[in-house]
Structure 1
Amino acid sequence: MEKNHDMKAQPWEVDDKARLCRFLCYGSEGDIYTAREEVQVSRKSAEALLALLEDGRGAEVVEVITRYSQDGRAVSVGPCLFALAVCSQHSDLKTRQAAFKALKEVCQDPGCLFAFIQYKKELKDSKNGIWGRALRKAVSNWYNGQNAMSLAASVAKCKRQNGWSHQDLLKLSHAKPANDGVALICKYIMKGWKEVKAEYADRENPEEVLKALSYLEVLEKVKHSSDETEVITMIEEHALEEEQLLTDHLKSKNVWKALLKEMPLQLLMKRLGKMTAKRILEPGSSDTQTVCDRIQNDAILKKGRIHPFSILVALENYKKGQGYQGKTKWETDSNIIHAMDSAFYKTFTHLEPVDKNLVIAVDISTSLSSVVPGTSVSTAVAAAAITMVFASTEANTQVLAYSGGSLVPCSVAAGMTLEQVTAELVKTPSESTDCTLPMAWATENKKAVDIFIIMTNNPIWAFSASPVEALKRHRQKMGTFSKFVMCGLTSNGHAVADKPDRGVLSICGFDLGAITLIRNMALGLI
C-alpha cells in the first residue's frame, strides 16, 4: 500500500496504481498470468483497488477503468466491470457519481451491462438492494444513449445473460425513453411484436422508427418461417446472425452457407473444421472459395483487427483434422489451409510497434510433440510465431537461442516463413534452462534492452542462477529500467521474482492475451 507520496518511487516498485492496472488487465494483482484461465474476481483479488478508493482516489480509479476497458489493454473486460461495480457502491459520493457516469463507456454491449449489474448484486453489502436512483438513471441513460437500430441489433443478439434480461433492467430502472426510436425498442422489449405492430401501424412514423420497425418485423418473421429460401433471403438482406435464428434453421446446410458470407472472421476461422465435417464447405465448391477469399481479404483482416497468432491457432487446429475430444473429424482442404497461411503473413503489416529495444531468447526442444495447452500449436511453432510478431514490428530486436548453457546466434530476418524461423530456432537442441544468459549477454555487450522476452517449453523452471538478479545487474550497469517476461509455453506456472517487481511478469501457457500483456509491459501500462 502506498504510504508516502513525497518519497520518489523507484520504477520497479509495485505500488497500488500498478497493482490496479494488473488487475484490470488480467484479473490478478500478482505477476503471473495463466493463459486461457477463467478469471474469478473478488474483493480479495482487488486489494489495491480498495486501497486506492479508501485513499480518496476514486475519480482517478474510474478514469483508469474506463481507459483500460476501451483501449484494448485488457485481456478480458470482466475485471474492469467488477472494479466499476465496486466504485459504484463506494461510500464516497463523487466516486459513485464518476462510476455511473462511466457506465455507458465501459459497458459497450448488453452482455457487459448484464455482467456489471450481476457484480453489483453479488457485492451488495446492505439489505436495501442495488436499485437506487443513481443506478436507475445510469441504466436508463445506457438505453437512451443509443439510436433505434443499434439498440434493436443489441437486443436481438443478446437477450439475456448472467441471470438478467432487458425486460428486467427496463422494469427495475423505470426507464423513460428519451426519443421515439428508443421508445419503440423499449415497447418491443416489454410488450412484444404484436402490440408494437398494432400500435405503430396507423402512425406517421419518423424514418428512424420506420427502419427499426422493418428490422423488428424481419426478426419476428424469421422466427416463424420454415421456408429455407425465405430464411436465407432474410439472412442475406438484413445481415442476420445465428443468434437470431431458430435451432431448426441451423440444421440446414444452405442456411449455414448464407451465414458464412458475413460471419465475423474470428468466429468463421474457429468454425472451419466443423463446417468441413458437416460438408457445408466442400473442396472445390464456390462456397469454399468465397470463404477462402474472405479469410485472405486484407481489408477484412485489418477491419477485424485479426492477429497473426489467432490465425496460427485456428490454422493448426484445422490442420489437425479433428476437434479436441476427437468426436468431430474432417478431411482438411488444401485451399483453406493456403488461404489461412496467406492471411497469417498479411496480418503482420497491421501490427503496431511498441518502439522499444527487445531481446527475444528461445529455449525450446526440437520435439514437435510438445504443444501449447489449449491449442494444436507446437511449442516450437508458437515460439517462432511470437518471435516473428515482435521481430517484424520492432526495428531493434535481437533474437537469441539457448544450447548447452550458452547462446547460439539466431538469424531471423524479414521475409522468412514460419517454417524457416522455426527451423532456425530449434536447429540446436536445448540442454538446460538458464534464463540469466540473455541478460548476461546484453550486459557484456553493453546493449541497453527495454524488455527481455524469454520462452521455454520446460514445464519446471529450475534456475541455477536468478534471472531477476541478472536483470538487476543489467539495469544497474546500463542505467535503464529493463523488463523481463518469462513465457513458460507448457508450464503451470510460478513466480520468477521473490520480491514484487514492476518489470517482471510470468506467463504460463500462451494465447492472444499474453501478447497483449507483453505489449502492455513494454509500454509501461502494467
Structure 2
Amino acid sequence: MEPSGSTTSNHTLNSTGGGCQWEVSNKARLCRFLCYGSEADIYTAREEGRASVENAGALLSILQEGRGAEVVEEIKRFTQDGRAVRLGPSFFALALCSQHSDQKTRKAALKAVREVCRDPAHLFSFIQYKKELKECMQCGIWGRAVRTAVSDWYNEQDAMSLAAAVTKCKQREGWSHQDLFRLSHTKPAKDAIALISKYVTKGWKAVQIAYADRENSEEVVKVLSYLEVVEKVKHSCDETEVINLIEEHNLEREQLLTDHLKSKQVWRALLKEMPLHSVLRILGKMTSNKILEPGSSETQTVCDRIQSETALKKAKIHPFSILLASENYKRGQGYQGKTKWEADSNILKAMDAAFYKSFMNVEPVGKRFVVAVDVSTSLSSVVPGTSISTAVAAAAITMVFARTEADTQVLAYSEGAVVPCSVTADMTLAEATVELVKIPSGSTDCTLPITWASENGKAVDVFILLTNNPLWVFTASPLESLKKHRQTSGANSKLVMCGLTSIGHAIADTEDRGLLSICGFDPGALTVIRNLAQDLI
C-alpha cells in the first residue's frame, strides 16, 4: 500500500533497498542528511556541525550504486523547495558528487552548481568542502570541468546583481572572489562581467585607468557607476554623504565601514530598506544604541514594517520565528556580550500583531494531525538556546497546526488520562497556553495519545508528542502502539517525539521510517515535521 498523498518519487524512496515501505532505505537516509545534516532519526535544534564523509554513509552507498544523478536531483530539490533546514549538507553532498570517480555524477553535479549555490557564500562553502574532500578522495579541486562551472557561475549572473553580491560578500571560509576568478581562469562572457572581474582581481584604481577613455555600453556604465558609489562610501568620513549614498543606491551595512555604523543617522538610513529578517535580529542592539527610542519616528517606521502583511509575506517569516525574536527582545539582553536594553512596548505590540498575521505564510500539508502535550511535569522550563518557556513553545506549536491544518486534534495527557483541548484557530497564544497548563500533572506515558486515537476510531497521519521531559516512559512500545494504529485505522501513521528541553536523546534504535525524535525546538523543527508528513524524509 502506498502512503496517502505520495508521488512516484516518494514510492521510489520507500521501496529502494528493501520492499517494506517503513524500512529506512539509503534514499531516506540521504534525504534526512540533506534536510538536517544527519542520517539518524534525530533532529537536534540549533545544532550546527560541519558535514563530513563519516556521517554520510548512505550518500556514499548510493553513489557506489551508480545513482549519482539521482543524488544531484535530490540536492536541487532540497535547496530550492525550502525542504532543507541547513544548506551546508547540500553543498557538501554536491562537492562530494563533483569529485566522484563516475563521470556522469561529476558532470551532473557541476551542471547543478549555478542552481544550488545561489549566492557567493554558497559558492565559497561548496569550494571549501571540495578542498576538505581533496585528501580523502585523492583528487584535485581545479580540474577543467570545475573551472568551467565556476566561470559559468559568474558569467551567467546579471551584471548589476553580481556587482552588488561581490561588494556585500567579499570572502567566506578562507576564499575570496579574487581567488575564484584567478583559479578558475574565468574568461568574462560580456563587458560588464569583465569590468567586475578586473575590479575584483586588480582593484578600483586599475578599473579607473582601464575604463577612463573607453566608449562603454549602457550596462558597463551602470556597473561602473555602482562600483564608484561603493568605493566612494568606503572612503567617506562625511555622515551626510554616506546617508545620501545609502538612500540613493540602496547600500547595505556589509558595504559600509565599521566607523559608519557608529552613527545613529546612518543606521536610520539603513533601516528604511533593511530586510525584515535582519531588522528582527538586531532590534535589541538598535534599542540599546538609542537608534530606536520610545515615540520616535524610526520606532514607528519599524513597528509599521514588522506588522505589515506585505513585508511579512515578502520575507516569508514563520510565526515561530517571530515568537523567538519577540521573546529574545523582551528578555532585554543579548546572549553574548554585555548589550542590554529596555524593550519598547510599541515594538512588542507590533511583534505580537506580526505573530498572528504571519500564519498566512504557513502552507497547509493537508494531513490528519494529533498534537499531544505531556503535562506530567511542569512546563515552566525554557527551551534551550531561546527565551521561550516550554509552555509557550508547546502552545505556539499547537497553534501552528490548529490554525493551518483543517484536521488537527490537540490533546493534553498525564497520569493515565488523555484530555482533548479546545485550542482553536481563533485563540490567542496566551489563551492557548492557559488551555494546556490547566490540566493537573502526574506521571506520563507517551503511548497514551496513540491509544486514545485507536480507541476513539480516529485515523491519524502524524502524531506529534511534545514533552518537557526527554526521558520517555512507556507502558508499551511506542512503535508497537503506532503499528497497531496503522493496522486498525488503515492510516500510514507517523510519530514525532519532541523533547522541548532535550539536548540529545532517542526513542530507541528503530528501523521504522515513520518515527522521528526532535531535541529542543526551533523553526527548522517544523520544516522537519512537514517533510516527514509529506514522505520527503
1:5-25 CA distance string (max 9 Å, x none): 898722211101000000000
Partner of residue 298, structure 1: 309
- Asked if the contact 2:470–2:501 (Cα under 8 Å) also holds between the matched residues in 1, the reply is yes
Partner of residue 41, structure 1: 51
Following the alignment from structure 1 to structure 2, what is the Cα–Cα distance between the partners of residues 261 and 429? 49
What is the SS of the residue equivalent to 1:484?
strand
Partner of residue 161, structure 2: 150
TM-score (norm 1): 0.97
Counterpart residue type for residue 438 of structure 1: P
Higher mean C-alpha deviation, range 357-366 or range 25-34: 357-366
Partner of residue 422, structure 1: 433
> 1:7–1:479: structure 2 CA closer, same or farther, 3 Å change rule?
farther
Partner of residue 16, structure 1: 26
- Asked if the contact 2:75–2:94 (Cα under 8 Å) also holds between the matched residues in 1, the reply is yes
| Structure 1 gap ranges (5+) | none
State how 1:109-508 maps to structure 2 within 5 Å: 109-125=119-135, 129-325=140-336, 327-364=338-375, 367=378, 369-508=380-519
1:344-375 CA distance string (max 9 Å, x none): 00011221000000000011468564111111
What is the SS of the residue equivalent to 1:140?
helix
Distance apart, 1:469 and its partner CA: 1.4
- Asked if the contact 1:12–1:503 (Cα under 8 Å) also holds between the matched residues in 2, the reply is yes
Following the alignment from structure 2 to structure 1, what is the Cα–Cα distance between the partners of residues 409 and 139? 59
1:17-65 CA distance string (max 9 Å, x none): 0000000000100000110111231111111111001101111111111
- Asked if the contact 2:414–2:445 (Cα under 8 Å) also holds between the matched residues in 1, the reply is no
Following the alignment from structure 1 to structure 2, what is the Cα–Cα distance between the partners of residues 22 and 57? 17
Distance apart, 1:327 and its partner CA: 2.1
1:412-457 CA distance string (max 9 Å, x none): 1121100000000111133123111111011111211100011011
- Matched residues, percent identical? 71
Following the alignment from structure 2 to structure 1, what is the Cα–Cα distance between the partners of residues 367 and 379? 31
1:310-366 CA distance string (max 9 Å, x none): 000010111111222572221111100010000000011221000000000011468
Counterpart residue type for residue 261 of structure 2: L
Distance apart, 1:403 and its partner CA: 3.0
Counterpart residue type for residue 498 of structure 1: D
1:52-92 CA distance string (max 9 Å, x none): 01101111111111111111100111000000111011111
- Asked if the contact 1:366–1:429 (Cα under 8 Å) also holds between the matched residues in 2, the reply is no
| Structure 2 gap ranges (5+) | 1-11
- Count of residue correspondences: 524
1:520 aligned onto 2:528: no
Following the alignment from structure 2 to structure 1, what is the Cα–Cα distance between the partners of residues 271 and 370? 41
Following the alignment from structure 1 to structure 2, what is the Cα–Cα distance between the partners of residues 350 and 523? 18
Partner of residue 39, structure 2: 29
RMSD over aligned Cα, in angstroms?
Answer: 1.7
Following the alignment from structure 1 to structure 2, what is the Cα–Cα distance between the partners of residues 260 and 9? 55
1:277-315 CA distance string (max 9 Å, x none): 111100000010001011011111001000100000010
Partner of residue 90, structure 1: 100
1:100 to 91, 110, 124: 110
Following the alignment from structure 2 to structure 1, what is the Cα–Cα distance between the partners of residues 119 and 162? 9
What is the SS of the residue equivalent to 2:516?
strand
- Asked if the contact 2:371–2:463 (Cα under 8 Å) also holds between the matched residues in 1, the reply is yes
- Asked if the contact 1:33–1:506 (Cα under 8 Å) also holds between the matched residues in 2, the reply is yes
Following the alignment from structure 1 to structure 2, what is the Cα–Cα distance between the partners of residues 23 and 31? 10
TM-score (norm 2): 0.95
What is the SS of the residue equivalent to 1:399?
strand
1:241-297 CA distance string (max 9 Å, x none): 111100110111111111111111112112111111111100000010001011011
- Asked if the contact 1:362–1:456 (Cα under 8 Å) also holds between the matched residues in 2, the reply is yes
Distance apart, 1:465 and its partner CA: 2.6
Distance apart, 1:127 and its partner CA: 6.2
Counterpart residue type for residue 206 of structure 1: S
- Asked if the contact 2:17–2:25 (Cα under 8 Å) also holds between the matched residues in 1, the reply is no
What is the SS of the residue equivalent to 1:288?
helix
- Asked if the contact 1:433–1:458 (Cα under 8 Å) also holds between the matched residues in 2, the reply is no
What is the SS of the residue equivalent to 1:94?
helix
Distance apart, 1:467 and its partner CA: 1.4
Distance apart, 1:184 and its partner CA: 1.0
What is the SS of the residue equivalent to 1:370?
coil
Following the alignment from structure 1 to structure 2, what is the Cα–Cα distance between the partners of residues 520 and 138? 31
Partner of residue 80, structure 1: 90
- Asked if the contact 1:35–1:511 (Cα under 8 Å) also holds between the matched residues in 2, the reply is yes
Counterpart residue type for residue 299 of structure 2: T
Counterpart residue type for residue 429 of structure 1: P
Following the alignment from structure 2 to structure 1, what is the Cα–Cα distance between the partners of residues 273 and 218? 26
